[in-house]
Amino acid sequence: MAKVNLCTLFNSAYLSRGLTLYKSLLETNSDFHLYVFAFDDLSYDYLKQKKFENLTVVSLNEFEDEQLLAIKSTRTAGEYCWTCTPSTILYCIEKFSLDCCTYIDADMCFYADPEIVINEMGSKSVLITEHRYTKQYDQSDTSGIYCVQFVTFKNNTEGLKVLNWWRNACIEWCYARNEDGKFGDQKYLDDWATRFEGVHVLKNLGGGLAPWNVQQYKFKLQNGKPTGVNIATGEKFNPLFYHFHDLKLFSNKSVQLTGVIYNLSADVKKLFYQPYIKKLFESKSSMHLKTGNINWYALDEKPPQHSLQKLFLKIIKHNLKAIYTKLRYKKNIPFQYFNFQKM
């Protein structure tokens, strides 16, 4: 079994998420190495101080090159993170002489060995994962067919051709808006399966579970682990990783599970969100940093006190298409704010 090399990026606001991701890897794979690109000094100092097993932390001073620094001021903090994604993979391959490297988002949790996902690509050189949108949430035209949440590149001619193309494209243009068929770092992936040789699209339904696709599946706990079945086809699968997109923690322990347009079943909340949120607070509680004031919650404020009517009006104002689609398929708008202590 080959070592699984992974990389991710985050700042101190996502440190509890990053540690929860790391711990989930420890629980599912004993032969991995995680390269963390620390996007502020607090996260770098903390990770450097702790010297976690199977983890290497990389500072911005080590990582940023002239091309990235030249465009940094033209991007927001979020856009710059997106811009840097392909560069983190390339840096790891070149700096640490890796045969293969996989980028993973920090707000994910693994339930099985990531090697299962990587092995599926076989002799191919690049692996990408689809959003697999539930029909009413399909955002392929705006956010892309594929999700930059788990992307693998081999250190060979085919893999590096795609990776360098992606890096150059993101340096040229990577913004949080739709423009000429582009959106951030993600819409670039739409035509990779036809543009390049050696690109594999993940087939395993357990990879890439997320709030925009879990409505297609039923879940239950079996032998202490969640298992799933595709409602339409009856296909059974084991969850490999879940992407906790747009989950927000607040200082009063209130939680926004995800974006308000996504409907989450009671089983999804119980089997995925409740354990994950518990792990986030455990990660936060286990951190003891002598200096610095880390914003553990990413948004250190109380959640907005929306009535359902106000929430309805807010969604209409900011996303008319989404609320129209939502009402077409569902009678009620999901209310995604919860108090962690009551979950």
Q: Where are the domains of the chain?
A: 4-206, 214-342
**What's the pTM?**
0.88
Determine the Cα–Cα distance for residues 17 and 15; give it in Å rounded to an integer. 5
Residue in 289, 300, 301, 299 with CA at minimum distance from that of residue 43: 289
* Residue-level pLDDT at 324: 39
- H or E element that contains 106: none
Determine the Cα–Cα distance for residues 154 and 24; give it in Å rounded to an integer. 24
Q: Which amino acid is at 270?
A: K
* Residue-level pLDDT at 256: 85
* Residue-level pLDDT at 210: 98
> Is domain 4-206 annotated with CATH 3.40.50.720?
no
* Residue-level pLDDT at 318: 41
Burial class (CB in 10 A: 0-12, 13-18, 19+), 96: middle
Mean pLDDT by 10 residues, the chain (343 residues): 91 93 93 97 94 97 98 98 98 98 98 97 98 97 98 98 98 97 98 98 98 98 95 98 91 78 94 93 68 47 50 45 40 47 50
Using DSSP, state whether 222 is helix, strand or coil. Answer: strand
